[in-house]
Structure 1
């Protein structure tokens, strides 16, 4: 199979090269300011870059391309801007989880962070598989599965936005210093923002099922679930919260679901 411009493999390769270059530049910046937390911002902002590359180079049905690319752009630009606002306010103070990694890695920290940043770029392209599949679909009709996928995405988009806003409002109140946010969506899950982020990728997967080879898109929600619950999401966040407010957070853990929203344990 030749790597022609509209070929999904060519688009994936070009996206990977672009994301790796961006993450190399971000790593150099992070090394200079000694704040690896900026990687989170650019991990989210890499998706709009992939989306634009895919939109202009793919050969699929234009209305479908516009719909799926709009979904990707809205979700990841919102997340990127949210993370930028969170990180940019304390560029001189690295987040606790990255401070801990820096401490554990010692004099190998810069090298390990470079590998970590490149891994983020690779994960960007792997997670974008639904986008690559959908934008290659030449069918001139939008199917019911694609509408269902878009509906699931919409629920996830607004759910994650609400969770982020609730947490930001809680942290802004000085009376909540040292306390755990357990109101709103955070009453039912210790990480509702992560849950709805994962649900976003379920929406993309359902959308992709209407396209040839769409079943391959299952890799995205599977990888996202693994990353959020086993690697960089829940575990790091839990460790940091237990370090900063051990008694309050341990009590929160005993009553509240870690990931999936669920009524509290009595």
Structure 2
């Protein structure tokens, strides 16, 4: 039986961090030198695969739980990187980098953030495969939490994979007036994000099952449960940094100002849950407080034409300028116009 390899520390934190930094910097050098967008997301997804393979091989003779958790994150990383590579090859360039591609430090900032993302989200598998966990007797794979984790992973993987394809095909076949409200998008405006969140929590659930019933104690027990920072970090990222905040309000604003079927899209927004899949026939009539709390449709995602539209802002500015003239009648008219927005 192969022995576990100890490298730098007994949780594999340092070696996985070093590998991630080196891996991302190599791709950054290529992307910045050649102004090449096509490997950016590919570098992120495949980095998960690299870390899982290395930590699993270092663990000596892995048990079933380590193999399953490692294979799950590898399958997710390969699927994600493969799809994003295919999509960028079709579209030609990544608009996210139009203001960064030629600037060393702003562009490097994206890659540093990607390093943090990969290393943090990989933590459940990294710690599970580490020597400190391997030295203790493990709960045999197949507990209720293991089964629940496998089922949740399957649901999340199918949801994320299928919805990514559905959205890509929809955009290829339809113009900007159309609304993607079929398939998984009938029940959620972002089923791919929801699927991705489920995947990471399912892997975490499988990983911490090794510590159930007191088989693993002390600091190791705490370390396994602390890896929940991985799925939480991904959830925060999708909800407040690079996911919903970049698509919800900006997307609605673009439709409104370009008159791309705004009325139809406004109805879609009112009927369809932002993240958690739910029947639109019921969701439409739920109280706002339920949508804001249970379904996470926070005010930061909501587009209000009167507040957020450039056209409305321009009208308010014109009204204010008219109200500053010498004619009291004009000033009163301007004040009334301003109040109406």
TM-score, reference length from structure 1: 0.84
Q: Root-mean-square deviation (CA), in Å?
A: 2.6
> 1:24-78, CA deviations, whole angstroms, 9 ceiling, x for partnerless residues?
2222232244455743222111100111111111257432222111111111101
CA distance in 2, matches of 1:243, 1:17: 41
* 1:227 alignment counterpart: 237
* 1:169 alignment counterpart: 169
More displaced stretch, 116-125 vs 209-218: 209-218
CA distance in 1, matches of 2:275, 2:97: 22
SS at match of 1:257: coil
> 1:210-257, CA deviations, whole angstroms, 9 ceiling, x for partnerless residues?
123332122122111100000011112335534653454652333322
* 1:200 alignment counterpart: 199
- Conserved in 1, the CA contact under 8 Å of 2:38 and 2:89? no
More displaced stretch, 175-184 vs 217-226: 175-184
* 1:58 alignment counterpart: 59
More displaced stretch, 253-262 vs 183-192: 253-262
Please state how far the C-alpha of 1:112 moved relative to its aligned partner.
1.6
CA distance in 2, matches of 1:161, 1:176: 23
* 2:278 alignment counterpart: 262
Which sections of structure 1, spanning at least 5 residues, go unmatched?
none
| 1:10-29 map, 5 Å | 11-29=12-30
- Conserved in 2, the CA contact under 8 Å of 1:6 and 1:58? no
Q: Does 1:80 align with 2:81?
A: yes
Q: Does 1:129 align with 2:123?
A: yes
Larger radius of gyration: 2
CA distance in 1, matches of 2:239, 2:126: 25
TM-score, reference length from structure 2: 0.67
CA distance in 2, matches of 1:131, 1:155: 20
Which sections of structure 2, spanning at least 5 residues, go unmatched?
212-220, 286-341
- Conserved in 1, the CA contact under 8 Å of 2:20 and 2:47? yes
